[in-house]
Amino acid sequence: MSEPDSISTVHRIAEAVTEAVRDGRLAPGQRLTEADFASRHGVSRSSVREAFRRLTADGLLAFEPNRGVTVRILSRREIDNLFAVRGALEALAVRLSLPALKAAPERLLALLAEMDRAVADNDMPAFSTANAAFHALFAEVADNPLLSETLTRLSNSIYWLQFRMLVDRRQVFDSHAEHRRIVEAILAGDAAAAEEAMRTHVDGSRKLVQQLPDSHFAG
């Protein structure tokens, strides 16, 4: 197998694991085996091993002696720390992207409309997809590769993937009002209000997660 093919295969396996966590098919604490993923995807165990290594570095997986690779479980304090960093970086992305998005808001407004439809249809998968694209747009338009890479790594950690399926659906949909406040501040050219709205939005997600029982967290 050539080097580019190997890189592509590792990326594909990493994406498959991330998607399985996002969809709730892999639960926090669940053990993963190289042989199982290699057989399921028709790839070498070395490619699976490298994908697991990358996801462990990103914080989605963990290596535990005598257990091997598992889906990582975070403590409540680690959740708070993660959301604090995420909120600060998302607010920065909003500030940096605001001039360009105010001048050309079409993509932003289209994603807002997608989330409107998903809420009206009670369609959580569609809402989650549009929500992820909404947040990714700010980092993309900010045109700061380091910021974008860091936010991507945080997104690939436990951040929201493992908890989206657990929190109350209505509360998740209710958070959509905060998306509208972010967009309104951007259209008004009010960077301070847009940043504050994003911080409030991210902290709202943290609070939803922290409402879950202790059994969902590491000791």
- Mean pLDDT for 187-206 is 96
Is 66 exposed, middle or buried (CB count within 10 Å of its CB: 0-12, 13-18, 19+)?
exposed
216 band by pLDDT with thresholds 50, 70 and 90: confident
- Does residue 74 contact residue 158 with C-beta atoms inside 8 Å? yes
Neighbour count for residue 121 (Cβ, 10 Å): 10
Domain spanning 76-216: CATH superfamily: GntR ligand-binding domain-like (1.20.120.530)
Res 43: pLDDT: 94
C-alpha radius of gyration, the chain, whole number: 18
What are φ and ψ of residue 60, in 5° steps? -80, -35
Res 36: pLDDT: 93
DSSP element (H, E) containing 20: helix 3-22
pLDDT tens column, 138-192: 999 999 999 998 888 787 665 455 565 566 778 889 999 999 999 999 999 999 9
Looking at residue 106, its amino acid is E
- Mean pLDDT for 18-45 is 88
Looking at residue 79, its amino acid is I
Domain residue limits, the chain = 3-71, 76-216
CATH architecture of 3-71: Orthogonal Bundle (1.10)
